[in-house]
Amino acid sequence: MKAVELYLANYFNGIELAPALFYETNKAIRFEISESIAYDEPDFLKQAFYRSITLFEALFRDEDDIILVTDVHTNNDFLRAKPLHVYSKYVKRKDLLYKLRFSTVPNLYGDEEELVTHRFSLSCKKRDVRYRQLLKAICYEDFADPTTILKHNPESGYDIFFINQSKNIIYHLYDDRGCDIIASDKESIRFLYEQYTDWILDYDKQEVDEDFSLNNYS
């Protein structure tokens, strides 16, 4: 069993690291990262930048052990034709890149048989990653911007997960709209529920409230 899968088996009951983590556990919060505003407004992504970075910095401390996971969903030829630059661009310590792990996992989008999921993972610290720039790049993914991660391969998709091994929390900013945060213990993210309750996505707010109710706390 690969390191990431072993960790998930030990602390998250073998949950699959895939989009929509919120719906796989009751120890989760789904935040709305940017509210509905016109895309042609000059500052429409400022809210997304602010919320995604604020939540990240609330969860990750400098001393925490992190696994930075990038899943690329594409065809078999993608990585040979267009190498992925997530780690070379956003990891400060180039010596860490020698520890980068690669594997393939079962296609996480089963309705598209031609796709393969390539998984990259790197153990690091928060200070090793240009996380502000990386989170902004994720927010830009659906827009024409130089920071777009897969700008040369729009037919491919990706997901980036930050796993906090010290606190057993997973942070998944899936795009400029939202962010899923799950934990092995609700108590470790309860402060987010209380402090940023106004940011919780309205569609899932009732479910989150019920999960974090003191009468349903487990």
pTM exceeds cut of 0.85: yes
d(CA 45, CA 13): 35
pLDDT tens across 156-202, in order?
678 999 999 999 999 999 877 789 999 999 999 999 999 999 999 99
Residue 12 predicted with pLDDT over 90? yes
Please give the average per-residue pLDDT across 133-157, as a whole number: 68
Mean pLDDT of the chain: 84
Q: Average of pLDDT values for 21-42?
A: 79
pLDDT of residue 62 exceeding 80: yes
Give the integer Cα–Cα distance in Å for 59 and 180: 12
Q: Cα(191)–Cα(205) distance, rounded to whole angstroms?
A: 16
What pLDDT score was predicted for residue 106? Answer: 73
Q: Which residues contact 180 (CB under 8 A, 6 or more apart)?
A: 20, 21, 22, 28, 29, 30, 31, 170, 171, 172, 174
